[in-house]
Amino acid sequence: MTVRVRIAPSPTGDPHVGTAYMALFNMIFARHYNGTFILRIEDTDQARSRPEYEENIYSALKWANIQWDEGPDIGGAYGPYRQSERFDIYKQYAEELLSKGKAYKCFCTAAELDEMRELSAKQGGRQGYDRRCRHLTPDEIIEREQAELSYVIRLKVPLNGECVYEDAIKKRMTFPWADIDDQVLLKSDGFPTYHLANVVDDYLMKISHVIRGDEWMSSTPKHILLYESFGWTPPTFLHMPLLLGKDGKKLSKRKNPTSIFFYRDSGYLSEAFINFLTLMGFSMTGDQEIYSLDDIIREFDYKRIGVSGAIFDVQKLDWVNQQYLIKNISVEQLWDRIKEWSFNDEFMQRLMPLCHSRIKTFGDFMDLFNFLFINHLHYHDAIFVVKDLSKEQICYLIQSLIWRLDELENWNGTGVNQASREIAEIFGVNHKKIVMPILFASLMGKTQGPPLFDSVNLLGKDRTRARLLKAMEYLGGISNKKMASLKKAWQEKSGQPLMIKD
């Protein structure tokens, strides 16, 4: 059998460690079975997809030494590999299902759907949509079409029985059809949903094995039904255990760094990082923990992939990284690697303008810029003292700043400047207090330093976010109850200063 596997990330955010994890296992699987590994960009969500996020996926995966054989950037025989360039294809396949009687046009309005959802929730049902358009007569359909009502195309999901399939990792899976809505395949604007585009592309790109995170498992019955409706043979599914945080919950950027760039910028070796990621889902024979990519490609056996969630433990990553440094990087190579990381000309050229008028001697350089080259700032209470603000109130400001920066989608110096001014206004706090000491303390571990917003550009988005989270943690954080009310107040921002009460 020809093995063809793929990853299909959506370029809607920072390159997630989960993407590298899935990419790695797909690549290892492909290499082990002499197959082909494809990168497909699933940018059907036009509102959230951005070209720069797509670029970031490429550069993050390249940093991790993950190489694909076909993709939007390198082409291949089954392209285009970017879904936004394939919309005509999906439309054609949705129409095929209509003509086969496997799908139907649904003319319900957003208001009608809301009503149905509310009603179904009240009745404790799982279904949002009551399938009323599934039963329209041909005349009723023609009538609506003539009135030019907009419509979506929905999949006809069986009303009873079960979807049963064999997952190569999770074994036999059973889902009652009654729990599954008549899935929208094509939206009223002609854009496909994830399910349609994903299945059509996996089929057309001749994907033999779908290896993806187990958070997609609930979508698989819909996908299997789509394959059956088209008359195609489904690929083999391997649902990998999800990466979990230390709290046992899905990794979340709200709690821990999840961007691949954070690990690059913090000075991890890419080869140790991928070794660590493979450890999350797989165990080598003899429980060997430090190995090369070639070793795991040779030894790979999907039967040794774990079934339950894998804890993304940074302490373990640190240990793996140190083992690599000791075993695989010689003393002679070490300085080259450190230079490559952050002591390279490009970075230093960006830093020099900030340095130029601020040092008396070269000996002041490290004192001024140490925060760019260390992973753990040593916070202490004195740097966080702000007149009239408690530690928890400082956390409110930091948390709101994070939310605002995410809304702005601009985490560079200009974004932090704008967001901190807005937060100052919303909370009725002097902007200077937010910058100095709160931001200086959080980002540099001191109350003064080189200009803050330029420094943010050098620190990068991911380390900036991580430090804001760390500072909140140091300050005691925000209780769940208060977090909920802060969030509510934040979402309802009425233009009135948010009251900060202890």
Catalytic residue, candidates 105, 170, 222, 253? 253
Exposed / middle / buried, residue 443 (Cβ in 10 Å: 0-12, 13-18, 19+): buried
Shortest CB 284 distance to ligand GLU, Å: 25
Tokens of 113: 């759907």
Strands 36-39 and 4-7: parallel
Nearer to ligand GLU, 50 or 487 (CB): 50
Nearer to ligand GLU, 210 or 372 (CB): 210
Using CB under 6 A as the binding rule, whether residue 10 contacts ligand GLU is answered as yes
Sheet of 184-186: strand order equals: 103-106, 152-155, 184-186
Nearer to ligand GLU, 40 or 467 (CB): 40
Shortest CB 300 distance to ligand GLU, Å: 19
Nearer to ligand GLU, 57 or 439 (CB): 57
Site string for ligand GLU, 183-222 (x = CB under 6 A): ---------------x-------------x---x------
Shortest CB 101 distance to ligand GLU, Å: 26
Stretch that binds ligand GLU, among 4-12, 316-324, 364-372, 394-402 (CB under 6 A): 4-12
The number of C-alpha atoms within 13 Å of 170 and in the hemisphere containing its C-beta is 24
Q: Which of residues 27-66 bind ligand GLU (CB under 6 A)?
A: 42
**C-alpha torsion angle, residues 44, 47, 51, 54 (rounded to 10):** -50
- C-beta of residue 186 within 8 angstroms of C-beta of residue 193: yes
Shortest CB 42 distance to ligand GLU, Å: 4
387 is catalytic: no
Size of the site for ligand GLU (CB under 6 A): 7
Stretch that binds ligand GLU, among 2-10, 181-189, 420-428, 460-468 (CB under 6 A): 2-10
Instruction: Kindly give the residue spans of alpha helices, DSSP state H, lying in 356-390.
Output: 365-369
- C-beta of residue 234 within 8 angstroms of C-beta of residue 202: no
Nearer to ligand GLU, 198 or 208 (CB): 198
Q: Identify residue 336 by its one-letter amino acid code.
A: D
What are the residues whose beta carbons fall under 8 Å from the beta carbon of 166, sequence distance 6 or more?
A: 172, 173
Among residues 63, 61, 76, the alpha carbon closest in space to that of 24 is found at 61
Q: Which residues are catalytic?
A: 253
Q: List contacts with ligand GLU (CB under 6 A).
A: 8-10, 42, 198, 212, 216
